[in-house]
Structure 1
Amino acid sequence: MEQQQRDGDGGAAEADIERLPADLLAHALSLLPTFRDLSMAGGVSRRWRRAMERSLASRRRLSFAGQRTGDDTAARLVRAAVNLRDLDISRSCWGCQITDEGLIKISSADCVGNLTSISLWGLAGITDKGVVQLSIILWSCRHVTEAGLVVLVNKCRRLECINVGGMRVPPESFVGLLSISPALRIRSIPQTINAGLQVS
């Protein structure tokens, strides 16, 4: 009898959740701390999936780090996150498999012009072709060359900082970047050339 009572109460709670207005459900989902939790909530039902996508619109930070996320999924979610400011698509031991194609798709999202930070740490599948207009952590992106950095800095006039540690770009090329954007901070460059560059 008690078990039936508990089951009945659970059913009532489920029914109450399903009666939540769509905007309130989306707001509740926006409070979930991790992308994994949000993704799992989106799998509950079609209604919850729509609420999850709606909740992305209010997010200022989105991290796919450690998630098995590909080009299409990442691009779809970033396009839904219209107020995004900080994007982390770093690759960890399980992580994202974002390639140039994914970055190109992400670069067409409405939020791209407002992004202040993106982390691409460890993504070996990107090259100059995929580098997008953001404040980028380019640590160990060994296929991005000086040409890609010049295009990036030319097109991203609001760019404030680039972390270039572990890249195969000659230190002299960073002087050219500062001639394009004098306020640019370049991190993780050798101390021998720091005297002539603004670094942090």
Structure 2
Amino acid sequence: MEKEEAEIDRLPIHLLAYIFGLITSFTDLAQASSVCRKWTEGVKQSLALRNSLCFAGWKMDDDSTARLVHLAYNLKELDISRSRWGCQITDNGLYQISLTNCIGNLTSISLWGMAMITDRGVVKLISRASSLQHLNIGGTFITDESLFAIADSCPHLKTVVLWGCRHVTEIGLRSLVNKCRKLESINVWGTRIPDNNGPNISGKAKENVEFGNTSIS
């Protein structure tokens, strides 16, 4: 006797993609993708429809993260912040993400607390993120080299969080403010840059820049 087709298998791909798009667990998506070819295609299409991806709270590595970002080619917001579970992204992961189709369309990136990344990976990623408006790179070990890359590559930047980035200096910060003319706020709380350096930054953008809780307008 021929086995009756399950109701869900009768759904067209676009409806499967919509259903899979409601799933927030990347583990569940991976399991769904392995069921059959139709479900694999449904998962791929669901990722292609997403405007944002957040890996905070998930144990991700370079390859799995880059693979998902590659499929989400309409992505606008990417959050790979470190959480208590540990998102193990390295410079290699940032490099892989920099090669994805969505990188030039990203308007928001969060690398909060990613202690395993360095200037090498950040520069690779940022150099292709020309549409970026919001960047959270606090809690990392970046230096002025990353700030120079941001200043040169992200003319639309509006907000940047450098909380706890103790290796950045006033030189890198001045370059950022002077080149990113649309900047509205910078959080440099916990860095070694004193508040009284704020007025020394020239340019129109300084009117809206904030140093921690201190305005330099």
TM superposition score normalised by structure 1: 0.84
Which ranges in structure 1 are unaligned for 5 or more consecutive residues?
1-10
Which ranges in structure 2 are unaligned for 5 or more consecutive residues?
127-131, 189-193, 211-217
Written as runs of structure 1 = structure 2, the 5 A alignment for 1:32-111 is: 32-111=23-102
Distance 1:129 1:52 in 2: 32
Distance 2:91 2:29 in 1: 26
Report the CA distance between 1:53 and its aligned residue.
1.6
1:20-62: CA deviation from partner (whole Å, max 9, x where unpaired): 1112101221123454543443344443232112111110110
1:85/1:114 contact within 8 Å kept: yes
1:71/1:97 contact within 8 Å kept: yes
Change in 2 beyond 3 A, CA 1:42/1:99:
same
Identity of aligned residues (%): 43
- In structure 2, the residue matched to 1:199 is 209
Partner AA of 2:183 in structure 1: L
1:90/1:122 contact within 8 Å kept: yes
Change in 2 beyond 3 A, CA 1:57/1:175:
same
1:88-140: CA deviation from partner (whole Å, max 9, x where unpaired): 11111113111111001101111111111111111111111111224321111
1:58/1:83 contact within 8 Å kept: yes
1:169-194: CA deviation from partner (whole Å, max 9, x where unpaired): 12343122122112224422254344
RMSD over aligned CA atoms reads 2.2
Distance 1:148 1:59 in 2: 28
Partner AA of 2:102 in structure 1: C
Distance 2:32 2:157 in 1: 34
TM superposition score normalised by structure 2: 0.78
Partner AA of 1:158 in structure 2: H
Moved more, 172-181 or 74-83: 172-181
Change in 2 beyond 3 A, CA 1:45/1:91:
farther
Distance 1:171 1:193 in 2: 7
1:164/1:186 contact within 8 Å kept: no
Q: Report the structure, 1 or 2, having the larger helix content.
A: 1
2:145/2:172 contact within 8 Å kept: no
Report the CA distance between 1:66 and its aligned residue.
1.3
Distance 1:67 1:192 in 2: 40
